[in-house]
Each structure stands twice: as structure tokens, then as C-alpha cells.
Amino acid sequence: MSSGTNQSLSPLQAAWQRLMRNRLNGWALGFLAALVLLCAIGPKLSPYDQSQQNLELKATNPSLAHWLGTDPLGRDMLTRILYGGRVSLEVGLLATAVAAIIGVFYGMVSGLAGGRTDAAMMRIVDILYAFPFINFVILLMAIVGREFWLIFVAIGAVEWLTMARVVRGQVLALKNLEFIIAARASGAGFWHIVWRHLLPNVMGPIIIYASLTVPGVMLLEAALSFLGLGIQPPDASWGVLIQEGANSVESYPWLLLYPGIFFSTTLLALNLLGDGLRDAFDPKSMSQQ
Amino acid sequence: MIRFIVSRIVQGIIVIFAVITITFALSKMVPGGGVRNERFISKEAQKAQDEYYGRDKPWIVQLGLQFKHYATLNLPESEHYKGRGVDEIIASGFPVSATVGGAALLIALVIGVPLGAYAALRPNTLEDRTSTLAATLGICAPSMVLGPLLALLFGLKLRWFNASGWFDASDWVLPAMTLGIIYSAYIARLMRGSLRETLAQEFIRTARAKGASETSVVFLHAMKLASLPVLNFLGPAAAGMLTGSFIVETIFQLPGLGQFFISAAINKDIPLTIALSTFYAALIVSFNLIVDILQAALNPRIRLQA
């Protein structure tokens, strides 16, 4: 790798260098990459199936055959944690994507429309901030059913508000700049301007805010699963595993500790990375929220 | 100022009625619902039920009926807990939730504000790094992990408190700690950031230049402005504590509102579900209103804008 101090850097490269200046960010990124890889291929490499029971074995301490022990039904904990991690990460990413799509679309329309439409749309966001959303998510899960797709749609539908605000602020700042006016003057269509000029310029804040949304979303999924309203056993997510562990914490504390450690470390890495990205990109652009 | 408060109250009332409408609409998606699918029930009894809850009328009239219930505070009975008014149930669960939530909020402020301020006054020292690391770790300890661990340590091993239930006067301690520790971490981070930013501003240099003591600079000048983001956070934090209360009340098996809310949703007890959603909305709205007023009182810029 060249140090690249003499060449001119693209904004993205400069941000990357600033991100990597703090060693903690490198660790966080490395940990997350390793985790994603492990969760993706780990369950396939494991000699056990995550829901395969072994009732004679029951709960055991870590051993050579079961690196993180087994639960009271004799299921291999490491396999279950990696499999559950895949589900939790999937929900985290998909729900964040849903939130980002809604938020970016809403913020773009509001910012571009301007005037009264903008004021009305932002007033709606203000009002929605005061909604007890968690109640609706719980209601939806309890009433309509506990389907996988419903979980991330429900969570995504809750988490888009701040994204909409961030994007709208950026669009307002950008839309009267010269390069947009120049594009319009040279006959570029509405969607061309949105797609080729606006979106690339708001991408930084979108990525930053999305990375800060993922841990919140994963916490919400874990909370729902913990309450029995999210992922349903024998399927596993970290919320499910933590709930099972909490039920038997007196006899087998490690059943809570292992998934808990995985979950907390992941949240820590995501939070560190989110903070790092925020500092590496524009330090001022995110400070208002 | 008065216009500002009135407009916020009007907005809050809109939120509350929107919550009633949405919860009502969601409840219409329930197949069957109420006692209907629970056990065998005679046609007459069911008809009387439907009449009591107004289910024989068109849905728009039903929604109007809901609005009337809440506008006049004349609330119906629960469908699952026969013979108990929904207001009665809220009155029995709220003291539990409020005790735990209030104590958690106090713990969060008492730990978070000094920790963050201390770190901000000694930037880039070992103390700063340690407290910032502690705050970051605190954010990453979810209540469903922290709660059972506290119950295991202080309840089952040391036997200082009951591990679950609501019997002794000290039963609020563990749940409040579970909730409070996490929020103290958020508050510490906010406090540190905003106090550092404030101390770098020019009015602080002016205060120092005119000879104000360091204590007066920090506590009289800087803290007043630096506490605004923390105050601002308390609105969402209150909502977060309600979320947390669902988890914490499940872990420690407390007979609070969160338990009633979940069981009402699962039992498809529509009147109780609507009542609890509305109550939560009213709580959040009032909390945000208090925060807004306090903010306006502390910051002339907000006060004059409104």
C-alpha cells in the first residue's frame, strides 16, 4: 500500500485515511468483517445443525466437541450463536435499508418541493417523533403475526424519521448550488438531477446515519425476540438466544453470557465505526441531530 | 411564550387522537378478536358484548365512540379482565412502572451528568479516556443481558434483593439500575461533548477575561448552555424507558403497565390495548412538552423564535 501523501486524494480516499487514523476504527471494521464471514459460513462448516437436539447430552460446559458448550436441549451453542448472528445481522441490515429508502425518498421530496409542502411534510415528521412507535411494533407483531419480513418492515417503518431530516437538510443546502443550476440550465431532467447530482452528494450523510441506525435496529429486534414477539424458536436470533439464556441464568449462566458477549461486542464495534465515520466525513454535517 | 406552549399542547392532542385512530385501525385487522375465539359463548351474551363495545355500529361511528370515550375520560371495561375498567388497570400498573422509570431516570442523571462533565473538564487525560470508554461500554450492554446478570449477582448469589417480583419496598432497585445504567452512558457522552463545545465558545473566554472564578465559569455560565442537549435527549429517553420497561418488567416479573400492554396485545383485548397506547402517547407528549418549556426557559434563542 502506498502512503499516498503526495498524490491528490479523492474525498472518499481522504475520509478513509482519516477513518483509519484511529486504530480503534480499524479494529471495529476488522471485527465486523470477521463476524459477517463467520456467521455466513460458520453454520455450514459446523458438524451440527443449529436446531439439532441431543437430549441425552443436555447442557454442557465448553468442550472439544462443543467449543461453547450446549444448551439444555443439547444444541451446539457456537452453531446457534453464529446462525442467530446471521439472522440478527440480516434483520439489522434489511430494516436499516427499509428505513434508509423511506427516509431518503421522503427527505428528497420534502427538500426539493420546498415552501409549504416542505413545511407540512416536516411538521408531520415532528409529530411522528412523539409517537409511541414501540407500541405499534408490538401490536403489529402480536396481532398480525410473527413473520420474518414483517419484523424488518415494522422496524424500518419506525426508524426513518431522522434519516428524512438529515437528507432534507442536505438537499436544501445543495439544490441552489451552481452545479445543480448549471445542470438544469443545460436541460437535465428532474430524475437525472436527482440520480446523478443530488444522490451522490448526500451519500456521505446517508452512509453515516445508516451505520448509526444498524445497532439501534438490532437492539429493537433483540427486544422483540426477547419478548417472544420477534423471531420464533426453534429458529434463532441473538434476542432469542439471550432470552433462553436469561431463563436459565441461575443454572447455566454461560448460556446468557456467550450470546450476550457476541451481541455487546457487535454493538460496540458498530457504534465505534459509526462515530468514526461521522468524524471522518464531514464533522459538522451530522452535529445538528 | 404562551403561544409556543399552546401550539405544543394542540400538537400533542393531535398526536394522542392520531394514536387512538391508528390503534383502532390496527385492531380492525384482528381476525375475530375479543372473547369470540376464546371459548364457547352464547349468541345473546356475544350480542350484549358487541353492543357494549359498539361493535354492531359502522366503523366510523365506532371510531367516534372511541374519541368520545377519551375526550370525556369515560372509559370502557377490559375485555379480558372482566368487570375491571381499563382506567382501573392503568391505575394499578402505573405506580409500579412510574417508580421504576422515575428511579432509573434519577440514576441516569446522577451518574451521567457528573461523569460527562468530569471528562469534559479534563480533555484527553486518562480520566477522560476511562470515563468515555465506560460510557461507550455502557451503551453496548443491552438491558436483556444486563438485567438477568444483575438479578443473578445481587438477587440469587448475594441475596441483597429479590431476583424478581414486586413484594418488598426495595424491589425497584435492580430494575431501575438495569434501565438507569444504560441511559447514564448516553447522558455522559452527550454531556461531555456539549460541555467541551461550550467551553470553547467566546462568551466563556469573556467570562474568564472579566475575572470570573473557574467554578462560576463552569457552573453558572457553561453548564446552563451545555445541559441543553441533555435536556433535549430526555424526551426520547423517556420514550426509550417505556420500551425498556417492557423488557425490564419481563425480566423482573413486575406487575407494571408493560406487562399489561403485552398481554393485552396477545389476548387481543382491544379496549385495553387502545387505552394503554393512548396512555403511553399522553405520557410521551407531556414529557416532550415539559422538555420544550424547560428548553425555552433556558435558551433565549428558542424562547424568542416561538
Query: Tell me: the pLDDT tens digits for A11-55?
Result: 677 777 777 777 788 888 899 999 999 888 877 777 777 777 666
Partner-chain contact B277 A142, CB within 8 Å: no
Quick one: pLDDT at residue A224? Answer: 85
Helix and strand numbers (H, E) in chain A are 12, 0
Give the three-state DSSP class for B256: coil
pLDDT of residue B30: 65
Distance separating alpha carbons of residues A27 and A42, to the nearest angstrom: 21
Q: Please return the burial class of A1, using the count of CB atoms within 10 Å of its CB with bins 0-12, 13-18 and 19+.
A: exposed
Q: What is the pLDDT of residue B111?
A: 92
Q: Give me the pLDDT at residue B243, please.
A: 63
Contacting B residues, span 167-186, partner chain A, CB-CB under 8 Å = none
DSSP letters along B131-184, please? HHHHHHHHHTS-HHHHHHHHIIIIIIIS-SS-SS-S-STTTTHHHHHHHHHHHH
Residue tagged 463467520 (cell numbers): A38
Q: Which of B26, B139, B144 is facing A242, going by the closest CB pair? A: B144
- The answer to whether the Cβ–Cβ distance between B142 and A242 falls below 8 Å is yes
The string over B128-149, giving b where at least 16 C-beta atoms fall within 10 Å of a residue's C-beta and e elsewhere, is beebbeebbebbbbbbbbbbbb
- DSSP state, B157? I
B123 touches B196 (CB < 8 A): yes
**A105 vs A53 pLDDT, higher one:** A105
> What does pTM read for this prediction?
0.81
In the stretch 123-162 of chain B, residues with CB closer than 8 A to chain A read 136-137, 139-142, 144-145, 147-149, 151-152, 156
pLDDT at A287: 39
B156·A250 Cβ contact <8 A: yes
CA B161, B167, A227, B26 dihedral sign is negative
- What residues form DSSP beta bridges with A76? A70
CB contact under 8 Å between B145 and A260, yes or no, is yes
Using CB atoms, pick whichever of B23, B145, B262 lies closest to residue A256: B145
pLDDT, one tens digit per residue, over B60-115 is 888 888 888 888 877 777 777 777 888 888 888 888 888 888 899 999 999 999 99
Query: Which pLDDT does position B110 carry in this prediction?
Result: 93
User: Within 13 Å of residue A4, how many CA atoms lie on the same side as its CB?
Assistant: 10
Among B residues 217-246, those touching chain A with beta carbons less than 8 Å apart: 236, 239, 242-243, 246
Contact A143 B141 (CB under 8 A): no
pLDDT of residue B41: 65
Please, which pLDDT band fits residue A194 given cuts at 50, 70 and 90?
A: confident
Nearest to B140 among A142, A242, A264 (CB): A264
- Cα A252 to chain centroid, rounded: 30
A264/B22 touch (CB, cutoff 8 Å), yes or no: no
Instruction: Tell me what pLDDT residue B35 has.
Output: 47
pLDDT score for A286: 40
C-alpha B138, offset from chain centre? 19
pLDDT surpassing 50 at residue A4: no
* pLDDT of residue B304 exceeding 70: no
Query: Least CA distance to B141: which residue of chain A?
Result: A264
**CB within 8 Å of chain B, chain A residues 88-117:** none
User: Among partner residues B139, B142, B261, which is closest to A135 by beta-carbon distance?
Assistant: B261
Size of interface A-B (CB pairs under 8 A): 117
- Whose CA is closest to A248, among A85, A77, A88? A77
CA distance A24 to A4: 22
- Residue contact B139–A242, C-beta within 8 A: no
Which is higher by pLDDT, B165 or A86?
A: A86
- Rounded to an integer, what distance in angstroms lies between the CA atom of residue A252 and that of residue B145? 14
What pLDDT score was predicted for residue A100? Answer: 92
pLDDT of B40 reads: 59
